[in-house]
Structure 1
Amino acid sequence: MSVAAGSQRAVTKGTVPFGEYRTWYRITGDVTSDKPALVVVHGGPGSTHDYLQNMAVFADHGWPVVHYDQLGNGGSTHLPDRGADFWTVDLFLAELDNLLGELGVADNYVLFGQSWGGLLVAEHAARKPAGLRGLVIANAPASYPLWLQEMEVLRAQLPPGVNETLLRHEAAGTTGSNEYYEAMGPFYDRHVCRIKPWPRDYQASFYEVYNDPTVYFTMNGPSEFHVVGTLRDWGVEDRLADIEVPTLVLSGRHDEATPVTVRPYEELIPQARWEIFEDSSHLPHLEEPERFVEVMLGYLRERS
């Protein structure tokens, strides 16, 4: 464990045991304070915390912030030889439960889940943990079947020839080719991150995925819009009515998580409020940071 102090932020980094593995974490602020810890659950699956680093700003307002890298990537244990039977939703739910307990925040916390992390925290919340004070579901579909349905709509709107190139490589099983990778660009620039060049934090997570794509390729697939992994039939719609805490739902107007994929959260969670960021796609915390902080602070103040 290492501890560092910034102008207003005390930062603690380390790993906690998770069975025979280790989960990397970073705490910004003081988790022993009265305010609930804001636990940040990244997307992917198989990404890292890096692209969500700017959420540490909430520690400057009194909320301790916990980032972590999910098993298989970043600073946590990498397991490139494990197969699909190992990489399950239950594994990552167990890792989250373990982290909350090991860090001593299980009795007082708010969860922020982004993209895949949004589905994960929804499932966690549906199990009614006693210490959960609030839930933020950001840029997440309520199911992967809905996601795939909407991917067809978004792909059909790409510049002429792009989707044809993507489909050709997907049919041939050559999604690792440079041509496929380059053809992904127009989709990502429209629906994932509209800032050019991409912010450094987002680039860091993007390259971490492809440095060790074990989890992403196994559970998701070769790209955001070609989900052929083990999650392709999974969703949380049937769990949303069981969520008892006030829930903030976030998405971008140009988000790959389209309104069709997000709407079940608002409709099925008893205490849900949905905020759409008009100038954002999949990363409003980077694309509209000032409004993002304003919306989040409003929600957090209601939880304290």
Structure 2
Amino acid sequence: MVNIKEGIAEFKVPGLDQPCQTWYKIVGDLNASVTPLIVIHGGPGACHDYLLPLTDLSSSLPLVFYDQIGNGRSTHLPEKDGDEKFWSVELFKNELDNLFFHLGLKERSIDVYGHSWGGMLAAEWAASPSSSSNLRRLIISSSLASMDVWRVGITALRKKLPKDVQEELDRAEEKKDFEDPKYEAAIEVFYKRHLSLARPWPSEEVQAALNWFAKDPTTYGTMYGPSELYISGSLRDWSCIPLLSAISAPTLLINGSEDEAQDVAMQPFFDHIKRVKWVTLDGAAHFSHVDQREKHMQHVAAFLTG
């Protein structure tokens, strides 16, 4: 029987009267001698739930899941909707460091797994030697090294959609009518091809992420945009490419053959991180940990124990 513990880490944010609360879940024994794996969810705002298949690894190592502030079981701040200065990458790096201090992990070897936006955050954190000196291994799953290379991949995939779907996307974006059911249906066509290939649609994990976006779109809307195909938020010009050479930990890259994180988005990680391995899973999209669950876990386990 694997131990499961939930808790709250208080996180003081400059400019806020009250500390925020970062909710976390520990699966396994954090006091064991095995290096723990810290899991950083995507979105921003998708919350930890969709990454729970990673508990398949809990028989051999402890895992730490958490919901970033603004999301899930952590403090929500809807009054900060649209505040691009507040919702910064630096804010979430500080939250991650605060969680490590709270859990007593700053002086201890750790592994980090970041998916999508979580991979972006993990890469920036790992490229800061003052914060990440205890990082043993890094996994970047279905992520992007810059928004420019992400757009190249997304645009190419968009052009392969049926013509009527492309036209509906164009029409809605021109009018900025992102709540039109026709636009939502067109986005779903893209999601079924490039978010997850698991059927029936949507899988439990996909639905969990979509539910959190619907419950509180503050961080996703402010930082990314109204959908995966329309990037209007504060991350629109983001890049970590100049930082990547500072990542010293051995790094595993994973994406799916049908991933919205196309190879062009992942390539700079491979080009600039010193010690890196890259695996692309056939028959998988953005949620390769769902679409090809067994193979995904095998690669992660082999990398962490090899």
**TM-score, normalized by the shorter chain, greater than 0.5:** yes
Q: 1:11 aligns with which of 4, 9, 14?
A: 4
Aligned residue pairs total 294
Equivalent in the alignment of 1:52: 51
Distance (whole Å) between structure 2 residues aligned to residue 163 and residue 92 of structure 1: 34
TM-score, normalised to structure 1, is: 0.95
Distance (whole Å) between structure 1 residues aligned to residue 269 and residue 294 of structure 2: 24
Equivalent in the alignment of 1:23: 22
3-state secondary structure, aligned to 1:39: strand
Counterpart code for 2:3: A
Unaligned 5+ segments in structure 1 are: 1-6
Q: Tell me which moved more, 192-201 or 275-284.
A: 192-201
Counterpart code for 1:23: T
Distance (whole Å) between structure 2 residues aligned to residue 143 and residue 66 of structure 1: 27
Counterpart code for 1:195: A
CA displacement at 1:247 relative to structure 2? 0.2
Q: Over aligned residues, Cα RMSD in angstroms?
A: 0.9
Q: 2:148 aligns with which of 129, 133, 145?
A: 145
Equivalent in the alignment of 2:76: 78
CA displacement at 1:124 relative to structure 2? 0.6
Q: Percent identity?
A: 37
Q: 2:240 aligns with which of 222, 236, 239?
A: 236
Equivalent in the alignment of 1:268: 272
Equivalent in the alignment of 1:97: 97
1:37–1:105 contact (8 Å) kept in structure 2: no
Q: Which runs of 4+ in 1 moved over 6 A?
A: none
Equivalent in the alignment of 1:115: 116
Distance (whole Å) between structure 1 residues aligned to residue 273 and residue 226 of structure 2: 31
Unaligned 5+ segments in structure 2 are: 13-18
Please say if 1:292 is aligned against 2:292: no
TM-score, normalised to structure 2, is: 0.94
1:216-271: CA deviations, max 9, x gaps? 00000011121111101001111111100000000000000101111111111000
Distance (whole Å) between structure 2 residues aligned to residue 34 and residue 193 of structure 1: 35
1:163-188: CA deviations, max 9, x gaps? 11111111111112211111101100
Counterpart code for 1:56: T
Counterpart code for 1:138: S
Distance (whole Å) between structure 2 residues aligned to residue 192 and residue 91 of structure 1: 27
2:119–2:142 contact (8 Å) kept in structure 1: yes
